[in-house]
Structure 1
Amino acid sequence: MTGFRDFLTRFRPAASPGRAAPGGVPSDRSAELRAELSPPLALLEQAEAEARALRERADTAAASCLRDAQRQAEQIVAEARQEADRVRASTAEEVLRAAEAEVAALLAEAEREAAAVRDRARSRMPGLADGVVALVREDVAAEQPTPPSAKGHRSPGRWRAREGGP
């Protein structure tokens, strides 16, 4: 890169005003510019190459990170599914235990009610049986014909059935 002094020499007059000077070699401005810009452009090309390499390494690292993240996500999902299966089984077991406890409580209550019904039946049975026996005796007594009197007697050991009876 050219220095500041070289930069200023561009603007210095080639000769003092006055008589014509002998002819000189014309300057090659494009060669001067190329010579001036080639070192910064070379550095720029080097920076571009470094940037390209850095981008490629970053792309490779990003792809690697993405693969790792996908593997990790798959592992997390698999663990979550296993945990869900475990929780589901645990919950089903808890529900089953609760249902079994409820069934046991209902059976115990039903047995208590059945025992209470049996006790009531035992306590009421003698009274009901006495009432049934009394009703049967009344029916039997109502169905038995009265013994025949001597007047209306036709044959010994036989009597006439009442009307409307069986």
Structure 2
Amino acid sequence: MKKQNVMQKYDLITKEPIFQKFKTNNKQLYKQNIDLRNAVLRKPLKKLITSDEMMVEQNNQFYGITINDTLVATFSSYPKDSNMVRLVSFAVDTQHQQQGLGSRLLSWAIDDFRKQGYYRVSLLARASAHNFYLKQGFKDTREPQINHYLNVVDFEMQYIIPTRN
């Protein structure tokens, strides 16, 4: 019986995940984004996303993957400067983790960042996601720091976007 459940979960993934870019004015996707980030990133810390935090990200570019019209992976980005984009709040639905969706979304977004003229991607990674980013080619840029707002350890990381020949 367990094998069948795993297979059913895998079959969902083969139903053509749709890669999407969206802004906060896409109310349906943005609400799903907030719900997903709260469920995966914030509820375990007992600190849900606030309206002030939503105001800060109002101009961010959001990336996501939907399956059957449901957002299952997401993050947002904003320009740090003309050469670097900052990636924030990467969340993958727990039922869809460890299936390659996060890697695929990140790869797709990095290609989009390259097309926009960015050369570097920076982020703060929680300790629980640090190895994921290392596997994607990100490098640590300083010693881990304590995020006092969320009470987690953050790793400042950076990725150099390869140029296409």
Q: TM-score, normalised by structure 1?
A: 0.17
* Structure with more strand by fraction: 2
Query: Larger Cα Rg: Structure 1 or Structure 2?
Result: 1
Q: RCO higher in 1 or 2 (8 Å CA, sep ≥ 6)?
A: 2
- TM normalised by structure 2 equals 0.17
